[in-house]
């Protein structure tokens, strides 16, 4: 990201329909005393008017995500971690684009993950796609500088930080398995090759480790797309419609950008056109991408059904 300024999103974001509407308090929004139960809150179409008001006190980082989005699952924990470390200087509002279509439309979220900040109600670009932790930290530092330049320098207090019994009663999260922790640490610094090795070791120990299966698919996807150029990949795929590698590149980019049906459809069409002795790599890539999105996702179920019909 090279331009962290409101001008960079001029014309690209339209929040006018959400700015002046009556709004229900978002879960975790400041109460009368200004405190929030958490620095990470869920924002909805109905509550976003209040989120805009909060951005006059502290910068609000808006994370547009979806349950099926593999790269979102890599980026969101990093953003949450950095937000909490800032101790109330930034509030994080998470937006499930599937459940909140008006917000997705207002931010013109063509692909996710998409992360945009709000300073005094004005949108500021941050990230599109998964990025390593060091870049996240650098951009958050730029965000705080820009907020200070615009007079937004408040701090939002967190209820329970006074050591109340309610805060002490919060259950501790179970520790992450060592190889999963190793993989996650590698992802945070952008070392996808090391993360792949860690997940492969975890699967060697337990082939039914569903988290490792999903994590391996996600990090392989991130590793493949980081050096790809979308326009070049699409041109290569158009020039070689039966070349699996060319089609894989576009499907990966589509999936990473949230265009799940497009990715699956491209590979299923390729599978249908190839001779039976050339289909195995395409089937294996589809199965890997199914794991990234999740077996229960309706798009995966539909694509699996079509794949089964093509096989038999």
Residues forming the active site: 69, 72
CB 97 within 8 A of CB 65: yes
Contact call for residues 115 and 4 (beta carbons, < 8 A): no
Using CA atoms, how far apart are residues 180 and 273, in angstroms rounded to an integer? 38
Q: What share of the chain is helix, strand, coil (3-state, %, to 5)?
A: 55, 10, 35
Please state at what angle helix 280-293 crosses helix 244-256, rounded to 10 degrees: 10
| CA atoms of 42 and 37, how far apart (whole Å) | 12
116 three-class SS: strand
Dist CA 293 CA 270 (whole Å): 20
| Euclidean distance between CA atoms 91 and 274, whole angstroms | 50
- 56-65 exposure pattern, b = at least 16 Cβ within 10 A, e = fewer: ebbbbbbbbb
Smallest Cα–Cα separation from 226: which of 194, 204, 193?
193
């Amino acid at each position: 990201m090279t331009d962290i300024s409101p001008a960079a999103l001029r014309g690209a974001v339209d929040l006018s329909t959400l700015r002046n509407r009556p709004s229900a308090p978002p879960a975790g929004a400041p109460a009368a005393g200004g405190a929030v139960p958490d620095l990470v809150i869920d924002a909805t179409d109905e509550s976003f008017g209040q989120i805009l008001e909060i951005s006059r006190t502290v910068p609000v980082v808006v994370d547009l995500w979806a349950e099926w989005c593999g790269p979102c699952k890599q980026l969101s924990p990093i953003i949450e971690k950095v937000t909490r470390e800032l101790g109330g200087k930034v509030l994080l509002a998470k937006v499930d684009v599937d459940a909140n279509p008006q917000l997705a439309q207002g931010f013109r979220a063509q692909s996710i993950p998409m992360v945009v900040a709000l300073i005094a109600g004005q949108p500021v670009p941050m990230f599109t796609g998964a990025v390593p932790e060091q870049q996240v930290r650098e951009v958050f530092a730029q965000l705080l500088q820009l907020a200070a330049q615009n007079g937004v320098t408040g701090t939002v207090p967190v209820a329970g930080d006074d050591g109340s019994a309610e805060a002490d009663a919060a259950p501790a999260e179970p520790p992450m398995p060592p190889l999963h922790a190793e993989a996650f640490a590698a992802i945070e610094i952008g070392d996808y090759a090391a993360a792949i090795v860690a997940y492969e070791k975890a699967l060697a120990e337990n082939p039914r480790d569903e988290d490792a299966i999903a994590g391996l698919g996600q990090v392989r996807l991130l590793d493949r797309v980081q050096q790809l150029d979308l326009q070049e990949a699409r041109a290569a795929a158009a020039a070689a419609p039966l070349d699996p590698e060319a089609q894989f590149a576009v499907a990966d980019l589509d999936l990473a950008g949230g265009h799940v049906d497009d990715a699956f459809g491209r590979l299923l069409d390729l599978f249908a056109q190839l001779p039976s002795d050339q289909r195995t790599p395409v089937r294996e890539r589809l199965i890997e991408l199914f794991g990234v999105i999740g077996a229960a996702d309706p798009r995966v179920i539909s694509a699996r059904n079509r794949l089964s019909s093509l096989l038999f």
